[in-house]
Amino acid sequence: MCECTCAKSDLSLIDGVLDTYAAVPGSLITILQKAQEIYGYLPTDVIYKIAEKTGNTPAKVMGVATFYAQFRLKPIGKYLIMLCQGTACHVNGAKRIEAAVCEYLGIKDGETTADGLFTLKNVACLGCCSLSPVMMINEETYGSLTPEKVISILKGLKEEAQGQ
């Protein structure tokens, strides 16, 4: 049981997942993936419940969750910006794109804007080298970026989110 003073999640949301997978050997990653789909990230109290129901220690569950880049331990913004830092993007100006995003949004890699709209995450490669420099925002891919183009994209998303 979580003894921490962290915010409490609705732990009943994961009961079905745990009923299905908790006793299945080797299912911890699947459980964590499904938990993240439910909560948007992996809250501490959910980690503790997964540990309890699977017979693992919280340290083991946390170890798996921190080992794989797909898992998040903090909530992300409405728009997750994955900015490619691969070789082609790097050569074609990814650092200038990152600087423009950071300056416009006032955040750094791994941070979320105060309004909860944007989270920036630098990634090793998005596999869209011919579009470099490239970023994905949620499921949408944006390529051939310039600092001006990326700011225009972010402004548009911000206005859309604010209902303008």
Q: How confident is the model at residue 2 (pLDDT cuts 50, 70, 90)?
A: very low
Same domain, 52 and 104: no
Same domain, 92 and 154: yes
Same domain, 101 and 126: yes
Same domain, 94 and 120: yes
Rounded CA gap, 155 and 101, in Å? 11
Same domain, 92 and 155: yes
Predicted pLDDT at 69: 79
Rounded CA gap, 13 and 15, in Å? 6
Same domain, 153 and 114: yes
**Residues 40-71: tens digit of each pLDDT:** 999 999 999 999 999 999 999 999 999 987 89
Question: Domain span at residue 41?
Answer: 11-67
**Residues 69-80: tens digit of each pLDDT:** 789 999 999 999
Flag whether pLDDT at 5 surpasses 70: no
Same domain, 91 and 27: no
Quick check: is 74 in a domain?
A: no
Mean pLDDT, rounded, of the chain: 93
**Residues 122-149: tens digit of each pLDDT:** 999 999 999 999 999 999 999 999 999 9
This prediction's pTM? 0.75
